[in-house]
Amino acid sequence: MHAMALAADGSKPLEAVARAREAWRTEVVRGLREMRAKLGLPWARLRSAAELAEDDDDRAVAEDERLVALLDKGLVQPLAINALFRALIRITNPNATAAFTRFFPLGLISLALAVPSRSELRCSWDALSLGNKCCDDSLAPDGPTEWEDAHYEAGKALLATGDVDALRDWARHGIPSSLRFDAWLALLLVAPSHDNALHFDALLGEVEAWDFAIDAPLRADINATANDEHYFVFLDLIRDVALAFVRDRTLPSLLALPGISLVDPSSGAAYPPCGVVPPEGLAHMIAPLAYLSSAPDGVYSVFRALYTRHLVRLSALASGSESLLTLAAAFETWLAELDPVLAAHCTAIGAPPLRAAFPWLVRGFSSFLPPGQLLALWDRIVAYDSLYVVPALAVGIFTLRASSLLECASPQDVAGVLSNLSACFSATTRLDH
């Protein structure tokens, strides 16, 4: 159960949202079909015995070459962040009340959505200011403090008892890197079992046997992590987890919000089998988990749980609590409350805050923060069982950089000020909201 669920009337799917969602679905599906037409491949194709006999490396090279050729032809990302952004701001609500418009005239989301107030979400803000003591200590010169040692020992003891509620209370003060894997599994309610390993092995078997049309955009995404200084060493792991993910038939029933997929009318089966078209940036969401464990099936189990419970919401157009829509609305509302002058200034120079914050939200900041900070942020998602900490950080970054932002005269200036966020996280976590 989400700790910060909205009031009942706010979580009812509004009609406008339902319409927008349907339009978006049509667009994604059309994109998928176009992509497949360009590829000239079936949706799924069983590899021939001859292909399978080829050397792994040779096949990887061949696949990369094919991908480059496709990219040259202008391969489409079926679920690109920019398209999602356009779809989001297209949503209009004819019934917007005068009161609402007066209260918040400048936001891009022209829909009266019930967003939890900052005081209701005190804990989201607390989540950012609490517990950073033990998360950013990686190379602390003086070594861990007594508090950190005690916190670590307490966590270890709780993990041994299996008391999830107590563990959650503990985790709200931060999770030491060395307990993160076990703590996340416990908090995401993944039962440790040999079946997880078997399941992953079976999926890798399908990766080997089946060539999917949807692998192409996914591979482009995976290859981008090969250029990332934080993740290039984990390329093989990221590739295995991503390709296994789209083939996982057990996912659709686990998704917290329905994803967009094709449905085979005869069998009712979804394509891709995971029930959700992977959003641009999926590989970068997997990548940070490479720091949790070097066992690929362990990483897969954590990612599967984290994605179905939380991350899927980040690219979902839905009116339910904690969808992309409500998170974006929360960002705009909170920023306008906290610093209306800043929000108005950015909007006036053609750089509405949500435009800059949107990629942060959709990706849950993955690829925008170095891994240590990103994992510390995601610790809070897992511990509080809520995504509101993501827009809370986005607002924190804007207020932290407010003085520079107020001097900006163009969207390019704003992009420049917000281009490197690595110094923001620790500063934001110390802000007292």
Partner 1 sequence: MDSRVRCKVDHAKEVIVTNFRKRRWVIVDDDDDTWHFYWGTGSAARNTFNPEIGFRLADNQFINHFPNHFELTKKDLMVKNIKRYRKELAKEGRMAEYEASDFLPTTYTLPADYHLFIEEYKRRPATSWIVKPAGGSLGSGIFIMKKLSQLRKWKAQKQAAGSSVKWVVSQYIDNPLLIGGRKFDLRIYFLVLSYRPLRVYMHSMGFARFCTAKYDTEVLDPEDLMQHLTNVAIQKHGDEYNSAHGGKFSLQNLRLFVEGTHGRAAARKLFADIKAIAFHAFSAVKNVINSDRHCFECYGYDVLVDDTLKPWLVEVNASPSMSATTQTDRTVKHTVINDVINMVLPAGFPDLAACKLGVGSNLDAPMGGFELVVDELKDAARPGSASPRPPPSSAAASTRVRRARARSRTRGSTAGRPSSAAGTRTPRSRPASRTSSSRPASRRR
Contact residues toward partner 1 (CB under 8 A) are 138-139, 141, 143, 152, 176-182, 185, 192-194, 196-197, 200-201, 226-230, 232-237, 290-298, 301, 370-372, 375
Compare residues 294 and 404 and give the one whose CB is closer to partner 1.
Answer: 294
Compare residues 196 and 367 and give the one whose CB is closer to partner 1.
Answer: 196
Compare residues 176 and 352 and give the one whose CB is closer to partner 1.
Answer: 176
Comparing CA positions, the residue from 109, 113, 104 lying closest to residue 91 is 109
Q: How far is the CB of 220 from partner 1 (least distance, A)?
A: 16
Q: How far is the CB of 59 from partner 1 (least distance, A)?
A: 16
Q: How far is the CB of 396 from partner 1 (least distance, A)?
A: 22
Q: How far is the CB of 115 from partner 1 (least distance, A)?
A: 34
Q: Residue ranges of the alpha helices (H) in 136-234?
A: 146-161, 164-171, 180-187, 194-209, 215-225
Compare residues 196 and 319 and give the one whose CB is closer to partner 1.
Answer: 196
Asked if residues 413 and 401 have their Cβ atoms less than 8 Å apart, the reply is no
Cis ω for the linkage preceding 272 (within 30 of 0): yes
Residue with tokens 């990483």: 299
Compare residues 406 and 423 and give the one whose CB is closer to partner 1.
Answer: 423
Compare residues 293 and 321 and give the one whose CB is closer to partner 1.
Answer: 293
Q: What is the DSSP string of 88-117?
A: HHH-B-TT--HHHHHH--S-S-BS------
Cα separation, 371 vs 138, whole angstroms: 12
- Identity at 369, one-letter amino acid code: L
Helices (H) and strands (E) in the chain, counts: 23, 4
Asked if residues 3 and 123 have their Cβ atoms less than 8 Å apart, the reply is yes
Q: How far is the CB of 186 from partner 1 (least distance, A)?
A: 10
Q: How far is the CB of 140 from partner 1 (least distance, A)?
A: 9
Asked if residues 31 and 261 have their Cβ atoms less than 8 Å apart, the reply is no
Q: In degrees rounded to 5, what are phi and psi of residue 263?
A: -125, 130
Q: How far is the CB of 227 from partner 1 (least distance, A)?
A: 4
Compare residues 112 and 375 and give the one whose CB is closer to partner 1.
Answer: 375
Distances (CA, A) of 37 to 28, 165, 214, 219: 14, 50, 12, 18
